Structure 1
Amino acid sequence: MLHFPDPFATDPGPMIPAEAIGFILAHGLRECASGLGPLTVRLGLSGADLAALRDRFAPGLDLPDLDLPRPVAGPDQQAIETLILWRAGVITPEARWLAAILARRSMENRHLWEDLGLPSRPALSAMIRHFLPGLAAANSQNMRWKKFFYRQICSDAAFSLCLSPSCDACDERAACFAPD
């Protein structure tokens, strides 16, 4: 089994895409080892997609659960995945895998970069810019990613989770938008 460094031990500086995927896989494996469910459930991919992702970014890594189907996603997760794919600007296996992973990890409670096992929000933003350039461009005001996903979904569905009519009029603007 390959060893990935602890993403919270030090700031690794700029990340290459394979490193970001390595952090995500390592985080998912730690969650599996902690009894939080199969890797397919933790990352929102089928075993076949996990194997393809591994072969592309971490050849030789021994992953569990490669025989499992893709877990059923709830409506919020499906909506986020659809949004990401719609905004991505590219149609690649990597975009499809990351859309599923980002949507699944958006269902967790912490910041998205933490729920992915990445060392920082800038690492998440860099990964999104690399693999999902249209999505990155759509978040031109640098809104936090989970909030951005929901804001996009709400505005497209003609309703809003937010109580304020616009971000500029909102008392919580600083909580949604932050520099990397």
Structure 2
Amino acid sequence: MTETLPGHAAAPDFERRAAACRDRLTGVPGGARSGDAWLFARLVAAREVRGELALLGLSAHALTALAQRHFTADAVVPLMHLAHQAPVVEATHAAFVASMREFLIGLAAPDVDAADAQCLATILAYACLRPDHLWRDLGLSGRDDVTQMLTRFFPEVVARNREGLRWKKLLARELARATGGVPGPAPGCPGCEDFAFCFPQGHE
């Protein structure tokens, strides 16, 4: 048991709070009406409990529409009232986000909801700006979660990862190849603990 020192508040248990938020969004404790609803509830809950919904990159309209598609009616109204704007990013990073989003949308599986694919492409593009492994940036449990998510929505991305690269590195590389750029790290990669492992010379 971890003791709290006098005068110090206990650190927030974000994992427990995110699980409770996820269950509230889906209305199904420990589950959801569909696999897609479960995924988006996890992604939204991970940011909501930290007051970081803006980091998803979704507009208020897109977030509300996503909630209406997948979450309970009781969960939609609170999200509508959480007015926010997408985070302000540098011009070069904004161009990266826009390009990554369009790149992923172009690779979306034909059997997924187009609006869901657009939302997930946005969420992934913004996550590439943050300095950690992609699964942590998304609030998921591990690399396998990202693999399953990409397999469902963007299977061509998974098919291209023949070398077993970290997903953020793979996404940045494939975007560069698709746009005629020079492969290199995503904007958030330099802050990651494994940057030297993925880019031993500082670049691809």
With structure 1 as the length reference, what TM-score do the two structures score?
0.70
Structure 1 segments unaligned to the other structure (5+ residues) = 6-11, 163-171
2:60 aligned with 1:47 = yes
Alpha-carbon shift at residue 76 of structure 1 (Å):
1.7
Secondary structure at the counterpart of residue 107 of structure 2:
helix
Are the aligned partners of 2:60 and 2:84 in contact in 1 as well (CA < 8 Å)? yes
Match of 1:98 in 2: 120
Matching residue of 1:63: 79
Alpha-carbon separation, structure 1, partners of 2:105 and 2:165:
18
Unaligned runs of at least 5 residues, structure 2: 1-19, 24-29, 186-194, 200-204
CA distance in 1, matches of 2:83, 2:157: 31
Alignment partner, residue 28 of structure 1: 47
- Return the alpha-carbon distance in structure 2 between the equivalents of residues 47 and 87 of structure 1: 25
Residue 78 in structure 1 maps to residue 98 in structure 2: yes
> Deviation string for 1:2-49 (max 9, x for gaps)?
6337xxxxxx9xx933222111111110221xxx5xx2x211111111
d(CA) in 1 for partners of 2:184, 2:39? 31
Call closer, same or farther: CA 1:109–1:173 in 2, change over 3 Å.
Answer: closer
CA RMSD, 1 decimal: 3.0
Instruction: Kindly provide the amino acid, as one letter, of the partner of residue 20 in structure 1.
Output: L
- Higher mean C-alpha displacement, 89-98 vs 122-131: 89-98
State the distance in 2 between where 1:17 and 1:51 align: 16
State the distance in 2 between where 1:54 and 1:130 align.
19
Deviation at 1:51, TM superposition (A): 0.9
Q: Which has the greater radius of gyration?
A: 2
Contact 2:22/2:45 (8 A) holds in 1: yes
Aligned-pair identity (%):
26
* Structure 1 letter corresponding to 2:184: L
Report how many residues are paired.
152
On the 8 A contact 1:51/1:66 being kept in 2, the answer is: no
* 1:3 equivalent in alignment to 2:21: yes
Q: Quick one: higher RCO (CA 8 Å, sep 6+), 1 or 2?
A: 1
Which structure shows the higher helix fraction?
2
Q: Is the 8 A contact 2:109 2:153 kept in 1?
A: no
Residues 73-101 of structure 1: CA deviation (Å, up to 9, x unaligned): 61121222122112224371111110001
Give me the TM-score of the superposition, normalised by structure 2.
0.63
